Chains A and B, each alone.
Chain A
Amino acid sequence: MMSRPMSSNPRSGPRHERKNRKAYQFPQAGSQVSIIVTILLLTITSLSCVDLTQVTQFAKSSQDVGNTFKALSSDTAAVCGSAATFFPPGQAPLNCDRYVQLQPALAKVNDVLFAYIASLGKIACIAPPKDAFTNVGAELKQADASISQADQNNAKAAGGLADALSKIILSGYQRHELARMIHESNSSVQAVVSFLSGYAAAQSELLLNNTWTLEEEYCNSNRNQLGAAEPLAAKLLAQKCDDDKARINTKVAAVEQYQKALATIAATHDILDKKRNSLTKKELLHDIGPQTSSLSAAALAMQKALQ
């Protein structure tokens, strides 16, 4: 059976083809491949790393929270020491050595959590290899100025295609590793967050509250003794007590922000675990975008509170 001509357009005869060639110059084969490769490269670049930037942003915001807790945690022994001055005469003060002994272990648990989150961020946005192949044409031109444009285009096209394929492979590996890591670590993340929030941070908060209780009692007691006999001393004491109360309240607020941030981290990690096999840009933006903003706000509030 005879095959039909490719086109039934009456204007597609040889005369019209010649006319079309005049109207539009088709690029050479090398250039065509180059254009295709460029489009492919742009598509792949937009698929590989960009859609995981929410994970990277989440990790970055978390780091600020972790760093601020270290400052808060290392302050506990000093807070405990300040509480000693408000104990009534004859009463043994708090054992502040326990805070000194516990602090490194608590800091380590905090560090383990945030180092893990940081590694999630690193894997989520590994910079794809640049210039491995795409500069091949230019390099050849540098080496030999007489090299033809066609040979340069061929080299560039072959290199670009290899680049594109390597990015697909790396992107797949990156996603696979990220998903595996998130799934295997989710229960540990929840347990560590629960400890840091429920015990480490709660202990800091309890110490701050207890310190204020002791100071308030000290203030009450001295105010009652000073009475109307020494109004200036009573006024100065009241002023100092008010200042200390504000200072302690600020630190308590920072601890509460840390607890809030930890809850956000746990919830976000849980979302990532549930969505680990479909980490698309749209979903990540929708699901963890707000959490990341909330983390950034918490970190900022903690830093302000500790200034």
Chain B
Amino acid sequence: MGLNAQDLKNIASALSALARALADWGNTHPITDPTQQAQFDDFVSSLVQASDSLMNAAVTAALANVAVSAADLQNATDRARHTLKVINDVTTALKIAGAAVALGTSLLSPTPSTVSGALNGLVQAVQPASPAPTGS
């Protein structure tokens, strides 16, 4: 039976905890024989080595599992950008409408300056909504 990401992580954590317990034991029980000390050090470092390798395998396996969810969130973020663009477009449209209101009102009491001023406002509002010229 194959091990899944959670199994690998559990074993890695158990080995790490065992290495930790041995190091703590060594802290309170000094080993005076250099050969025994070297064997003890090798054992602790082997446990750490195995723990690290298994945790790495666990993360790699879990990373593959989470890829779909991460892609979903990426799509949601892209859609949010689209929503923000729509709202910006609506805002631009509102500015155009605002300028049109000014133009309409100026036509109620027309003088050359009110009409030209309001017309100028409308042109300025329309500019951000117009597509940029392409080609040379």
Contact = CB atoms under 8 A, between A and B. Distances in A.
Interface in A133-167: 133, 136, 139-140, 142-144, 146-148, 151, 154-155, 158-159, 162-163, 166
B27 interface: yes
A209 interface: yes
Given A151-B108, A185-B76, A199 B49 contact: no
Given A185-B73, A210-B48, A216-B27, A143 B101 contact: no
Given A143-B113, A221-B37, A199 B5 contact: yes
A177 B98 contact: no
Interface string B21-33: 0111011001110
B127 interface: no
A198 interface: yes
Contacts of A144: 106, 111, 113-114, 117
Contact of B42 (A88, A108, A174): A88
A266 to B, nearest CB: 12
Contact of B52 (A120, A147, A210): A210
A102 B114 contact: no
A187 interface: yes
B98 A224 contact: no
Given A115-B77, A139-B117, A181-B76, A213 B16 contact: yes
A169 B89 CA distance: 13
B123 interface: no
B74 A112 contact: yes
Interface in A175-217: 177, 181, 184-185, 187-189, 191-192, 195, 198-200, 202-203, 206-207, 209-210, 213-214, 216-217
B62 A195 contact: yes
Nearest to A136: B102
Nearest to B54: A206
From A144, A155, A177, A184, residue with most partner B Cβ within 10 Å:
A144
A147 B102 CA distance: 13
A297 interface: no
Interface stretch (A8-16, A39-47, A92-100, A282-290): A92-100
B95 A132 contact: yes
B3 to A, nearest CB: 14
A146 B63 CA distance: 71
A156 to B, nearest CB: 9
Contact of B48 (A142, A192, A214): A214
Contact of B109 (A92, A126, A147, A223): A147
Interface in B22-78: 22-24, 26-27, 30-32, 34, 37-38, 40-42, 44-46, 48-49, 51-53, 55-56, 58-60, 62-63, 65-66, 69-70, 72-74, 76-77
Contacts of B102: 136, 139-140, 155, 159
Given A112-B70, A218-B41, 7 more contacts: A86-B45, A112-B74, A123-B80, A139-B117, A206-B12, A216-B26, A217-B45
Interface of A: 83, 86-88, 90-92, 94-95, 98, 102, 105-106, 108-109, 112-113, 115-116, 119-120, 122-123, 126, 129, 131-133, 136, 139-140, 142-144, 146-148, 151, 154-155, 158-159, 162-163, 166, 169-170, 173-174, 177, 181, 184-185, 187-189, 191-192, 195, 198-200, 202-203, 206-207, 209-210, 213-214, 216-218, 220-221, 223-225
25 contacts: A88-B41, A92-B49, A95-B53, A98-B56, A105-B63, A113-B73, A119-B76, A136-B102, A139-B118, A139-B121, A143-B113, A147-B109, A148-B109, A151-B109, A154-B108, A169-B90, A188-B70, A188-B76, A189-B73, A192-B66, A195-B62, A206-B12, A206-B52, A207-B52, A221-B41
